[in-house]
Amino acid sequence: MYPQDKALQDFLFETLKNVAVLFGFASYDGPILEDIQIYLNKTSKELVEKQTFQVQDKKDQTLILRPEMTPTLARMIAKKAGELTFPLRLFNLGLRFRYEAPQKGREREFYQADFDLLGSAYVLADMEILAVAIAIFLSLGASKNDFILYLNSRSFMEQKLEGFGIGKKDMKTILNLIDKQDKIDEPTFMKLLQEVGIGSSVINDLQSFLTKPLSPAADPYFTRLFSYLKNYGIDSYCQINPNIVRGLDYYTGLVFEVKEKGGTMRALLGGGRYDNLVSSFDSKLSIPGVGFATSDVVLMEFLKEKGLIPKVKPNTSQVLITVLGEDMVPSCVEIAKLLRSNGISCELYPSSNRKLDKQLKYADRQNIPFAIILGPEETQKGIVKVKDMKTREQKEVKKEEVVKILKS
């Protein structure tokens, strides 16, 4: 990742961190290498078996390069639950790894931002986490025409499937098939449903349900959630979609994804409620949670698609101090120290045998706005020359006033 790309990534990271601060989320972290045990029976089987980088340590213990953060967070919460003050708002931005084919919006190594609110099962917590998700896209310059947040409820879906006559033993399989719909065509989806062993009338009922839009009146939970979303002024960004179920096994209630409007890109952001995950590490604990994650790769692709890439430049110095001969090195070093001790970023040209025009050309190419020229004559007078690289104007300034002049 070269400086220009890194500058864009830094802009994205700064935006995510600012949103976290705005909503009161504290930063945390965990290990990049995790024991496979913290993922088994706590996340999807497909993720663990097919999408993780696994290594064996010297004791033949299987370790995984972390593919997601939520199990790590749940273990951390379980370990110190008695010392923590709930509700907790936690934010992490760090590396994740998925062993899958690199493609648009998807890499094997990527940065992911996780926002989690733990300790509240109340609908207001769900509204808050959705508000955070929407705030990210608005902070990146997106509008209502660029994205939509689709939401659903796993518990609502389980009730519906049970009403269609689908038993508990097939529930997980059916939900996973619904989650994979956008990756397969309709005939394949129908065939896979038939292979589960449910009747054609049940399949027809399910298909009819999945293709009809739902209103907040469909369930008391949705009614209350949308009343809060409306209070906050973000209900128009959200839509109930029965096809959103999310593939991770630990979701218990709200599930949601943000999708690009008018695009074919995968989910830009996804998450949901996981009320039983912490208790899987300590059965005596009952700590509900809700959260989501998004990655730098998919967000950057979204910004490119929507023409929202900002004009950012790699960090550059404000001042170049030219070095005109070996005899001038001590005086130039003194100026560099003076500027830096006063918070002015500068660089000392790292050679004493380059002509002045070459050094100034370097300042131009690096977009350094000012250059300080200091030769024997200037040293004798106790001055320096400050050159504005944009206007090409230069002025003589007393050494003791150079900081004041540059800061102005």
* Residue-wise DSSP of 181-202: GGGS-HHHHHHHHHHHT--HHH
Per-residue confidence (pLDDT) for residue 193, from 0 to 100: 85
Contacts of 233 (CB under 8 A, 6+ apart): none
DSSP 344: -
Helix (H, G, I), strand (E, B) or coil at 48: helix
Residue type, 256: F
Residue type, 44: S
Find out whether 360 and 394 touch, Cβ atoms under 8 Å: no
The model's pTM is 0.88
For the chain, domains (ranges, CATH) are 3-305 (3.30.930.10), 319-407 (3.40.50.800)
Find out whether 238 and 216 touch, Cβ atoms under 8 Å: no
Per-residue confidence (pLDDT) for residue 265, from 0 to 100: 66
Per-residue confidence (pLDDT) for residue 373, from 0 to 100: 96
Find out whether 15 and 140 touch, Cβ atoms under 8 Å: yes
Tell me how far apart the alpha carbons of residues 377 and 391 are, in angstroms, rounded to a whole number. 24
Per-residue confidence (pLDDT) for residue 403, from 0 to 100: 95
DSSP 85: P
In degrees to the nearest 10, what's the CA dihedral of 18, 23, 26, 27?
Answer: -40
Contacts of 375 (CB under 8 A, 6+ apart): 324, 325, 328
Q: What is the mean pLDDT of each run of 10 residues along the chain (408 residues)?
A: 93 98 97 90 77 91 92 91 95 94 84 97 97 98 96 93 86 87 84 84 88 92 98 98 86 95 84 90 91 96 94 91 95 96 96 95 95 93 95 93 93
Find out whether 19 and 135 touch, Cβ atoms under 8 Å: yes
